[in-house]
Amino acid sequence: MFAYDSLDYPYTSLMESEYLNEVGQALAAEMGSGFRGYRFVVWSMREGQTAPRSLPDIFSAESKSTVLIIVSDEGGSVPTQLVGHYRAIFKCYLPRDHPTENIYSFPIGYAAGVPSFNLLPTHDRPINLFFSGCAQTSRSELWRALVGMATLRGLIGSETRFSDIDFGAAIFQNISDAFPASFLQLTPGFGLGLDRVSYSRMLHDSKVALCPAGWRNSETFRHFEAMRAGCILISAPLPQTRLYADAPLIILDDWSELETTIKELFNSPDRMSQLQNATMNWWKNVCSPAAVAHFICRVISKQ
């Protein structure tokens, strides 16, 4: 459904390919015959690359019929140099929306190969807290909080002292004992822990997903994968774009607040059910492929 820049990545190799294709299918369904009157171009950013000033000749088209979607730019650049060249621009990792310039935030979505399963209510989910991700420096304070929780419960000894953890190194460490009936692990690198099917299955079995920042940006695939899976999200601060500003997420400015936050949350089953329902509705109405397609249609129909 989309045109991809073959000079950058084949579309099938994009981490976002499944999500993007579902957005394309939803656009085609909603727009009907009008879909063929537009060109939807996806530009994938390589590491160190900045937003394009123009498209390659193979994508030449009238600007009023070209919609540009920019993904993968974790640096969070704002492509103001492209304003006026496209009907609208939608971009992942925006620090904020720029509606007066027709630049809008676009969800990262879920990684290819991470499936969806049936959704269970919180009280039927066997895993309390879930996190599985690589040991990067942006996650050190989360891990410090979890090590502290486990130490206070007398469940780990000096062999897992926080000061011994080399963040940014290739390591495996499991600290699931930090909270009862949980799964919490550091992995040697992206995609080197659970396989994607097992990862998604565990998300769907989890009440709460911990969502620390990624390598270069606070937004991660995990945020959207956890929303789709019906988890309650506890996250580091996120950009105040339309994707997050009013989202029913628990935001912690400091991971040292985690233990208190978790205790209060698990002492209120009704609040947990409310948060789960609100999160699933947020996914359905704001971040799902169908919701994103509807938003794109609204934007381009006004231009």
Which tens digit of pLDDT belongs to each residue from 200-240? 999 999 999 999 998 789 999 999 999 999 999 999 999 99
Alpha helix ranges (H) inside the chain: 17-31, 140-152, 196-204, 221-228, 258-266, 269-282, 289-302
Residue whose C-alpha is closest to residue 79's, from 51, 110, 45, 118: 51
Measured CA to CA, the distance from residue 204 to residue 223 in angstroms comes to 13
Handedness of CA 151, 154, 159, 160 (dihedral sign): negative
Measured CA to CA, the distance from residue 42 to residue 171 in angstroms comes to 35
Measured CA to CA, the distance from residue 59 to residue 223 in angstroms comes to 32
Handedness of CA 165, 169, 175, 179 (dihedral sign): positive
Amino acid occupying residue 124: D
Residue whose C-alpha is closest to residue 190's, from 130, 126, 259, 133: 133
With contact defined as beta carbons under 8 Å apart, do 68 and 86 qualify?
yes
pLDDT tens digits for 141-181?
998 898 888 875 655 454 555 555 666 666 778 889 899 99
What's the pTM? 0.89
Measured CA to CA, the distance from residue 274 to residue 79 in angstroms comes to 38
CATH class, range 122-286:
alpha beta
Comparison of pLDDT for 1 and 113, the residue scoring more: 113
Q: Does 5 have pLDDT greater than 50?
A: no
Q: Are strands 127-134 and 206-211 parallel, antiparallel or unpaired?
A: parallel
Measured CA to CA, the distance from residue 186 to residue 193 in angstroms comes to 8
Listed in order, the ranges of the chain carrying CATH 3.40.50.2000 are 122-286
CA 102 to chain centre: 22
